Amino acid sequence: MRAVELGFGGYNSVYRVELAGWDEAVVLRVAPEAGVQFGSERGLMRNEYASLPWLAGIAELMPRVLAVDWSHEVVDRDWMIQSCLPGVPAPEQLGRYPRAGRTTFFRQLGAIARTVHDVRGPHFGRPGGPAYASWSEVVIASLTQIADDIEQVGLDASDVREAVALAAEHRATLDEVREPRLLTGDLWTVNCLLDADAPEPRISGVLDFDRTEFGDPAADWTIRMAQAKDDEREAFWQSYGDLDRSPDATRRAAIYEARHLAAIRLERYRLGKHETVKESYDAMAKVLAVGRDEFHADTQ
């Protein structure tokens, strides 16, 4: 047996394993020990497994699950074995194409996101639970848990608490989202594989759907990143379709951005990026200021 740790894994430990007697390598993903998982990130691998039936529309791009084990009898962690997809991580391969040609990649990514977001779920919240009756409950519970996690490691979470208060005060705006649609969680370039021999970018695989949830597609990380720059990623919208730009959608977007920034702060702390943790406070202050202005304008 031969095992090689793979890069780009920000949460789980991921290994490419060659087994004696097997023609093809497999991928072993091992979750962090339960005792070191933040409350907002607990059970993510189990959530991904629960989401698989809902991701049938893109199953041909996903690895097959060969085995899972939540018993902790073999090792004291959750683990999953998947088929090993062919392809090169998009962060390594995408830069080899001319900039103008990368629109092909983002157009494909938009189509994948559209397929996922068109799936209607049975409840709000993660496929693996807990289930919520309304979207506002999910957003408030998520922000509250992240704030608890941030304080648990000794950081200031007062701005995240302010985001909780803003979401609670404007539940009605969040609850205009009445259909729970499937969100990818954090699908973007780092979660894509490209065909190494294709003359233009061709997505050959998509990975890591452990943060899926049912809610407002506009709250998905994919949507955030597609709007982050005015560059070739604008091709994303050609296949995805138009984004809701109504005043209420803009107000919800401010709360979603606060949730993204809170989660980013926690991840940066976990990865030891302490300087960028500090930067997150300025970014959050700007977002909360925008959020207050947006909701204040609604009352005028």
Give the model confidence (pLDDT) of 223-255 as tens digits: 999 999 999 999 999 999 999 999 999 999 999
When pLDDT is cut at 50, 70 and 90, the band that residue 1 belongs to is: low
* pTM, 2 dp: 0.93
AA identity, residue 250? T
Residue 164: name the closest of 146, 186, 184 by CA.
Answer: 146
- Position 105 scores a pLDDT of 97
Long-range (24+ apart) CB contacts under 8 A made by 260-268 are 260/221, 260/224, 261/287, 262/143, 262/146, 262/147, 262/150, 262/157, 262/160, 262/163, 263/40, 263/146, 265/150, 265/155, 265/160, 266/38, 266/40, 266/41, 266/146, 266/149, 266/150, 267/10
State residue 293's pLDDT score.
75
How confident is the prediction for the chain on average, in pLDDT? 93
